[in-house]
Amino acid sequence: MSHDTATPMRPRRFLPAGPLTGRIRVPGDKSISHRSIMLGALAVGETRVTGLLEGEDVLSTAAAMRAMGATVERVGEGEWRVHGVGVGALLQPGGPLDMGNSGTSTRLLMGLVASHPIQVSFTGDASLSKRPMGRVIDPLSEMGASFEASEGGRLPLIVRGASPAVPITYRLPVASAQVKSAILLAALNTPGETTVIEPVPTRDHSERMLKGFGADLTVNVEADGTRVITIKGEAELKPQVIDVPGDPSSAAFFIVAALLVPGSEVVIENVGLNPTRAGLVEVLRQMGGRIDFLDEREVGGEPVADLRVKHSRLKGVAVDPAIAPAMIDEFPVLFVAAALAEGVTVASGLDELRVKESDRLTAMAVALTLAGAQIEEREDGLVITGTGGAPLPGMAEGARVTTHLDHRIAMSMAVAGLASSSGVGVDDIRPIATSFPNFEDLLASLAG
């Protein structure tokens, strides 16, 4: 759904909160939800999904797969059924696919289309239309697809799929699970073996799920940690039953809120802890955060636990750049934690944050500064001097930070508001619905 034209902006002020207490369950993992629908749509037969994230981004994926021939139905809360068309049988959609705000939908679907004999036009909102697509256009062009993109390799763009596509061996020039996944999805309908070489590991949901759906996929890890992923094409996918674990990237906002607000103790149930996603918890523990894993178990082939989080005195750290891919979406809220820690936090090697739903380095530096934090913005990161546990000053009535159509900036600054003396105004909370439609309800339930 595009926010820039559909409905008016929704400003909101987030006020300081008393202790946060109680148990919550966050919505399903966004990455796994997208992939459940896409792979279900390529399997022959019925895939059943529970715990699906019903955020706008995932609904964009569902609408796109319907437009290309699959049956994608909601049968209850988070409960969905997908009847796939089979690999190679995606249909030409009747019009452009509107990807709304969703980079994951766009890049992964560009991969799917690239090896089908169809032509698809992709559009998106103002945020998505600024994001670079060259990173997927390059490998998919090598596979034989052709593209007509807007200036700078951006949306709106048209993909003409190749039939047959050509298998490639591709070394990822950026640490990006979306680029990796676009190639693996294109490879499903490509004869022969396609190989993706990943020098820096990124989230591995595509690999796990493709194997789960019966694709012939192998992962070899070399001595230096480089991952070599090979998939055999002209695959036949078998329908699956998938229980989507809770999204660690959504849990992140409540983890940090509970650490920052004095007296808080919160349990967040069913949080996915795939090691390629669990970087934030590791860094917060290094900072002194009290986060316990309860009832560790497996859900939908992914490690999961209930997290118990207690208010903690945090210390600043130098964040190891090597951990960045395992918490790439969590930096905005980590910056909020750092703004209240004791001492200095240095986060570097984060150029990728400049091409997310917004330029998250500048957006967070500007927003946190307005809320009274001490921030130095660098080319590839931020240096944050914390308050030593004191609340942030907050902002005057009527003042608002700019979220740039970025859900994670809105939710991070909501957390900053809870941990402030006078509150934080956010210019527009509509984007929160892209990934976390019940964020405000859960926040209200913990704040009592």
What is the spatial distance between Cα 121 and Cα 93, in angstroms, rounded to a whole number?
Answer: 9
Q: Which of 1, 188, 268, 328 binds ligand S3P (CB under 6 A)?
A: 328
**Tokens found for residue 324:** 């960045």
Nearest Cα to 309, choosing from 275, 339, 362, 271?
271
Query: Per the annotation, does 329 bind a ligand?
Result: yes
**Tokens found for residue 21:** 């207490």
Binding mask 174-213 for ligand S3P (x = CB under 6 A): --xxx--x---------------------x----------
Where would I find the H helices in 266-358?
Answer: 279-286, 331-339
Residues in contact with 221: Cβ distance below 8 Å, sequence separation at least 6, in sequence order: 227, 228
Query: Per the annotation, does 360 bind a ligand?
Result: yes
For the bound state, the minimum distance from the C-beta of residue 275 to ligand S3P, rounded and expressed in Å, comes to: 15
Tell the residue number behind the tokens 């983890």, with chain if given. Answer: 255
**Tokens found for residue 101:** 């705000």
For the bound state, the minimum distance from the C-beta of residue 239 to ligand S3P, rounded and expressed in Å, comes to: 21
Q: How far is CA 146 from CA 67, 100, 166, 259, 429, in A?
A: 21, 23, 13, 49, 37
Binding mask 351-370 for ligand S3P (x = CB under 6 A): -x------------------
For the bound state, the minimum distance from the C-beta of residue 203 to ligand S3P, rounded and expressed in Å, comes to: 6
For the bound state, the minimum distance from the C-beta of residue 415 to ligand S3P, rounded and expressed in Å, comes to: 18
Query: Per the annotation, does 240 bind a ligand?
Result: no
Judge residue 11's burial from the number of C-beta atoms within 10 Å of its C-beta, 0-12 exposed, 13-18 middle, 19 or more buried. Answer: middle
Residues in contact with 228: Cβ distance below 8 Å, sequence separation at least 6, in sequence order: 195, 196, 197, 198, 219, 220, 221, 222
Catalytic residue among 29, 125, 306, 329: 329
For the bound state, the minimum distance from the C-beta of residue 323 to ligand S3P, rounded and expressed in Å, comes to: 14
Q: Which of residues 123-142 bind ligand S3P (CB under 6 A)?
A: none
Query: Per the annotation, does 35 bind a ligand?
Result: yes
Q: Which of 50, 60, 104, 345 binds ligand S3P (CB under 6 A)?
A: 104
In this structure, the number of other CB atoms found within 10 A of the CB of residue 178 comes to 22
Query: Per the annotation, does 408 bind a ligand?
Result: yes
Distance of CA 286 to the CA centre of its chain: 23
Q: Which of 2, 31, 230, 438 binds ligand S3P (CB under 6 A)?
A: 31
- Whether 216 is catalytic is no
Listed ranges 153-161, 172-180, 296-304, 310-318: which one lies at the site for ligand S3P (CB under 6 A): 172-180
Nearest Cα to 215, choosing from 197, 198, 190?
190
Q: For residues 143 and 328, which CB has a smaller minimum distance to ligand S3P in the complex?
A: 328
Q: For residues 188 and 328, which CB has a smaller minimum distance to ligand S3P in the complex?
A: 328
For the annotated binding site for phosphoenolpyruvate, the residues are 30, 103, 131, 178, 360, 408
Residues annotated as catalytic are 329
For the annotated binding site, the residues are 30-31, 35, 103, 131, 176, 178, 329, 356, 360, 408
Task: Write out the residues near ligand S3P by the rule CB under 6 A.
Answer: 31, 104, 176-178, 181, 203, 328-329, 352
